[in-house]
Amino acid sequence: MDKLIPAIAQDWKTREVLMLAYMNGEALQKTRETGRAHYWSRSRGKLWLKGESSGHYQEVMEIRIDCDQDAILLLVKQEGGACHTGYRSCFYRTIDGQIVGDKVFEPEDVY
Amino acid sequence: MDKLIPAIAQDWKTREVLMLAYMNGEALQKTRETGRAHYWSRSRGKLWLKGESSGHYQEVMEIRIDCDQDAILLLVKQEGGACHTGYRSCFYRTIDGQIVGDKVFEPEDVY
């Protein structure tokens, strides 16, 4: 598994979809080894431990794979919020710009 | 929006993640116009109305976009099952191969 595949992080209790990021084989291996979600950052071109700068780690409770084996679903316990904007989920807006998510921290307090 | 971006379909009531597919601008426009999820099929290289062959349409209740505007979340009412294998969700297996999803139809009855 060298190519990048999309990985959805979902809150394992509330079932809220928190974010979508990408994994390569190394990210998946590190996630399984450590129990904390790791992704491949396309913008920075490097492995990324979610929470490494914010402390908002994702404890991985279960890893699922889809029928075609080209997408991953992580069921996680999310520390703080998943989104760097301070919302619990990165999907905090409708496509028309209405805010529907919950803000759970102030980014300037965290980064 | 000409590039493909990943779109997650989630059951709007149970919050089960059903599938991940891809959208381009045309797929998103058709989805908004018709209220039924349309995707871009990468394997067939064409626009795809989810359910066109199975009858398992997705009625779109809400469309969300993520912080970076490069992923979409559809909250849908799913007719039948989302997965061509007969499971409600394409994420019916753990990464270790354990079946955790519900089978809701027999593919040979549908396709």
Domain range list for chain A: 5-110
Q: What single letter denotes the amino acid at residue B49? A: L
Distance from CA of A20 to the nearest CA of B (A): 7
Cβ pair B90:A68 closer than 8 A? yes
The answer for residues whose C-beta is within 8 angstroms of residue B27's C-beta and 6 or more apart is: B7, B38, B39, B40, B47, B48
Contacts of A107 in chain B (CB under 8 A): none
Class of domain B5-105: alpha beta
CATH number attached to the domain at A5-110? 3.10.20.810
State in Å, rounded, how far the first CA of chain A is from the last one: 32
Whole-number pLDDT of residue A1: 56
Instruction: Please give the structure tokens belonging to residue A37.
Output: 């979600």
Q: Which residue carries 């058709």 as its tokens?
A: B30
Mean pLDDT of chain B: 96
Provide the ipTM: 0.96
Whole-number pLDDT of residue A2: 72
pLDDT of B1 above 70: no
The answer for residues whose C-beta is within 8 angstroms of residue B46's C-beta and 6 or more apart is: B40
Q: Could you read off the pLDDT tens digit of each residue along chain A, which spans 111 residues?
A: 579 999 999 999 999 999 999 999 999 999 999 999 999 999 999 999 999 999 999 999 999 999 999 999 999 999 999 999 999 999 999 999 999 999 999 999 988
Contacts of B27 in chain A (CB under 8 A): none
Check: CB of residue A94 under 8 Å from CB of residue A100.
yes
Concatenating the DSSP letter of every residue in B4-31 gives -EEEEEEETTT--EEEEEEE-HHHHHHH
- Dist. CA B111–CA B96, nearest whole Å: 28
